[in-house]
Amino acid sequence: MSDQELERERLKQKELSKNPGGALNDAIGQAHIGSPSSSCLTNIGSIVMIIVFILIVKSCTG
């Protein structure tokens, strides 16, 4: 990671400690502007959440 990315992550963590709802705002912001996350784990987590959501919808409608 570059110095700018490390500084950005440090500031995100600092803001998250002050405002726990900031993580949701950050995720919504990334979804709106389409900026990819830098973490592979985050991408895997997003895919898992989408699959779980689809399974919940199928079980409720079926």
Please give the C-alpha separations between residue 16 and each of 32, 38, 43, in angstroms, as whole numbers.
20, 18, 20
Residues present in the chain in total: 62
Domain that residue 31 falls in: 3-61
Residue-wise pLDDT for 12-60, tens only, equals 777 767 776 666 666 666 666 665 556 676 777 788 899 999 999 999 8
Residue 3 has pLDDT above 80, yes or no: yes
Nearest alpha-carbon partner for 29 in 47, 18, 15:
15
Contact 30, 23 (CB under 8 A): no
pLDDT: is 27 or 7 the higher one?
7
Write down the pTM of the prediction. Answer: 0.39
pLDDT for the residue 5: 83
**Overall domain count for the chain:** 1
